[in-house]
Amino acid sequence: HADTLMPGYTHLQHAQPVSLAYHLLAYAFMFRRDYERFASSRERNNLCPLGSAALAGTPHPINRELVARELGFAGVTPNAMDSVSDRDFALEILFNVSVLMTHASRLCEELILWSSQEFGFVAISDAYSTGSSIMPQKKNPDVCELIRGKTGRVNGNLVALLTVMKGLPLAYNKDMQEDKEGVFDSVATALASLEILKQMLKTAKFNEQNMLAMTRRGHLTATDLADYLVREKNVPFRQAHFITGKAVAYAENLGLDLSELNAQQLASVDESLDADAVKFLDLNASKEARKSQGGTANESVAAQIEILNEWLKG
């Protein structure tokens, strides 16, 4: 979908033209960070506490390093009192799951919006939707809504354990038995949510024509016109901003999008808007102009995909 144009949004308002591939890549990089966060937590917490005894170690001649190796740990915890008191490993996995689910929830929220009649950007498979109990025409994005809802559940598990731990003195306290239920629940919830999210995305159908039509609303190339005035005409940005605003108002009075104005119409707005300005109103040209690292141009999108492919190979 590198050539599938759609509106990019800020404040949920039309901002600049981007590609669908670029939009989805933003989530791909979120999920990559999630994976790396789990990997980092494992490296930090893969230490064996056995042999710490109640809190002060043991007088018996044990070999903690041997036990750790036999059980597959990377090493042993260095302080026995910390070992029996520590629940950072549980808090970290709960935090990691919460961030992961928050990312999934944001994706689901956009899919919910995009599947509405107001957007019409995506059709979610019947296998992952349900009908209304009384309205036969409805197709509700239930999987997305459930994942969005379950994010509150895993966030609650994190806050619950943080609340348990916040006032505990060293070393062990029975309150700590509350660590397990939330961790098991959050992990199971995340695994199930990711699996069904993956399957739903595989079957989703994006409506490229509706996306393209919506790029012709909201004057998405206004910034390009202002940049043209600054870069090519040496107009101060404050003045360029004002001139572009006049052009937007002119287009709205004609019932047009800014990208639909011709050279003669632009020239009637301000003398600095010559015939060359028209090409900067083209939606695809606007997308392709953003070739900076991390941008939405095809060249940049291809580089981002390559980054992810190389990471996946590693």
- For the segment 109-125, the average pLDDT, to the nearest whole number, is 96
Q: How much is the mean pLDDT over the chain? A: 96
Q: How confident is the model at residue 13 (pLDDT cuts 50, 70, 90)?
A: very high
Model confidence band, residue 138 (pLDDT cutoffs 50, 70, 90): confident
pLDDT at site 314:
85
Give CA separation, 94 vs 77, 249, 285, in Å: 21, 50, 44
Confidence category of residue 131, pLDDT binned at 50, 70, 90 = confident
Say if residues 72 and 44 touch (Cβ distance below 8 Å): no
Active site residue ranges: 11, 132
Q: Which amino acid, residue 156?
A: G
pLDDT of residue 84: 97
Average pLDDT over residues 63-72: 98
Q: CB of 268 within 8 A of CB of 229?
A: no
- 235-248: per-residue pLDDT in tens? 999 999 999 999 99
Tell me, what's the pLDDT at 133? 84
Q: Is 90 exceeded by the pLDDT of residue 137?
A: no
Bridge-based pairing of strands 122-123 and 75-76 is unpaired
- pLDDT greater than 90 at residue 145: yes
The CA distance from 39 to 314, in Å, is 13
**For the chain, what percent of residues have pLDDT higher than 70?**
100
What are the φ/ψ torsions at residue 284 (nearest 5 degrees)?
-70, -35
Q: Annotate 155-177 with DSSP letters as a single string.
A: HHHHHHHHHHHTTPPSS--GGGG
The whole-angstrom separation of Cα 308 and Cα 297 is 17
State mean pLDDT over 115-131: 94
**In this structure, how many other beta carbons lie within 10 angstroms of the beta carbon of residue 97?**
28
pLDDT in tens, 156-189: 999 999 999 999 999 999 999 999 999 999 999 9
- Segment 16-63, tens digit of pLDDT: 999 999 999 999 999 999 999 999 999 999 999 999 999 999 999 999
DSSP 72-133: T-SEE-S-HHHHHH--HHHHHHHHHHHHHHHHHHHHHHHHHHHTSTTT--EE--GGG-B--S
Taking the alpha carbons at both ends of the chain, their separation in whole angstroms is 25
Pull the structure tokens for residue 47.
Answer: 């230490």
Q: Determine contact, residues 143/129, Cβ cutoff 8 Å.
A: yes
* Contact (CB, 8 A) for 187 and 158: no
- Token output for 293: 């690292």
Secondary structure letter of residue 244 according to DSSP: H
Could you state, in order of their start, the residue ranges of all structural domains in the chain? 5-49+86-214, 222-281
The whole-number pLDDT of residue 136 equals: 81
Residue 132 pLDDT: 82
What CATH architecture applies to the domain 222-281? Orthogonal Bundle (1.10)
The helix (run of H) or strand (run of E) holding residue 14 is: strand 13-19
Residue 193 contacts residue 150 (beta carbons within 8 Å): yes
pLDDT confidence band for 91 (50 / 70 / 90): very high
Q: What is the DSSP string of 27-39?
A: HHHHHHHHHHHHH
For domain 5-49+86-214, give the CATH number: 1.20.200.10
Cβ atoms within 10 Å of 314's Cβ, excluding its own: 5
